[in-house]
Amino acid sequence: MRNKFILPLALLIFGFFGCNAQNSSSDSNSATRTEISVDELKKLIDSKDSNLVILDVRTAEELTGELGAIPGIIHIPVLDLDRRAGELDKYKDKEIKIICRSGNRSGKACTLLNEKGFKTVNVAGGMKAFRKIEPKE
Catalytically active residues, by annotation:
100
Give, for 48, the enclosing helix (H) or strand (E): none
- Asked whether the beta carbons of 19 and 112 are under 8 A apart, the reply is no
Helix/strand/coil for 42: helix
